[in-house]
Amino acid sequence: MTDRYAVFGNPVGHSKSPMIHADFAGQTGQDIDYTAIEPPIGELAAAWQAFCAEGGRGANVTVPFKADAFELCDTLSHRARRAGAVNTLILGGNGRTYGDTTDGVGLVRDLAYHRVALAGKRVLIVGAGGAVRGILEPLLGEQPSEVVVVNRTAEKARQLGEDFADLGTIKGGGFDSLDGKFDVVINGTSASLSGDLPPLPDDLFANGAWAYDMMYGVEPTVFLTWAGPRGAKLLDGLGMLVEQAAESFYLWRNQRPDTAPVRARLRQSLNYGS
């Protein structure tokens, strides 16, 4: 019997998740059907309940529903509680909904895939929204020497620093508080989607530093286009998308797919505009 899964988002027509999970299922011999569902804003819980009533077993959740997904869950993983957001839903055999977040794991695994070292490194994260909150615990688990979070609203960044201070050396503030150079700079804002560039200094990157944008597209993002001439090696968030999906697939099916061929196919699909 085919098991049903989905991604919930609004908008969601652009989502690559159905293609990714179809590839994972083909690789691992899993009989699943994975579709994209676009509930009206504010109606995720009703859409999830309807999906479960029709045989749904689990789902991914993307913008703008991750906080809504957190609220509808009966049980939460430790990392979801810490992040305050859920991107993976699982319907238990008892009819209860379990929530987890795989975004941070996806980021860390993507960095590892590209041999980007975090241990002992100075890391800057730009932005203090839900996407950043979701990556901080796994990132700090890699034991960087320091994590600095900066945001246009400095208080939000400072709050994140306080919330995660038990996990490592982390502080937050405004852009005017930046000092020194960084080994890894991660853009966790959605500014790339609107073509905006955060107000970052030109001398941000240490020798051999990496610039990572959690967004991705056919062309390099505005942030990466800026970072390249300033000496940084560049990565976008396509690999993070694949790796977080692989972790969700593992939670659902207890099978860990090979992400390398899926990465290659997804990159090719972007290049050909499909």
- What integer best gives the mean pLDDT of the chain? 95
Residues 16, 24: contact at Cβ < 8 Å? no
Residues 223, 211: contact at Cβ < 8 Å? yes
pLDDT at 217 over 90: no
Q: Which residues, including other chains, have CB under 8 Å from residue 68's CB and lie 6 or more apart?
A: 42, 44, 45, 61
Identity at 79, one-letter amino acid code: R
171 is catalytic: no
Per-residue pLDDT tens digits for 1-18:
899 999 999 999 989 999
pLDDT at 273 over 90: no
Euclidean distance between CA atoms 199 and 179, whole angstroms: 13
Q: Which residues are annotated as a binding site for shikimate?
A: 15-17, 62, 87, 103, 216, 244
Q: Which residues are annotated as a binding site for NADP(+)?
A: 127-131, 151-156, 214, 237
Mean pLDDT on 21-35: 97
What pLDDT score does 269 carry?
A: 87
Euclidean distance between CA atoms 86 and 98, whole angstroms: 10
What pLDDT score does 272 carry?
A: 62
User: Which of left, alpha, beta for 108 (phi over 0: left; psi -120 to 50: alpha)?
Assistant: alpha
pLDDT at 113 over 80: yes
Domains within the chain, CATH numbers bracketed = 3-100 (3.40.50.10860), 104-238 (3.40.50.720)
Q: Which residues are annotated as a binding site?
A: 15-17, 62, 87, 103, 127-131, 151-156, 214, 216, 237, 244
Per-residue pLDDT tens digits for 58-69:
999 998 999 999
What pLDDT score does 274 carry?
A: 41
DSSP letters, 22-47, are HHHHHHHT--EEEEEE-PPTT-HHHH
Q: Which residues, including other chains, have CB under 8 Å from residue 83's CB and lie 6 or more apart?
A: 101, 103, 104, 130, 133, 134, 136, 137
Identity at 174, one-letter amino acid code: G
Catalytic site residue from 66, 121, 171, 181: 66
Q: Model's pTM, two decimal places?
A: 0.95
What pLDDT score does 190 carry?
A: 83
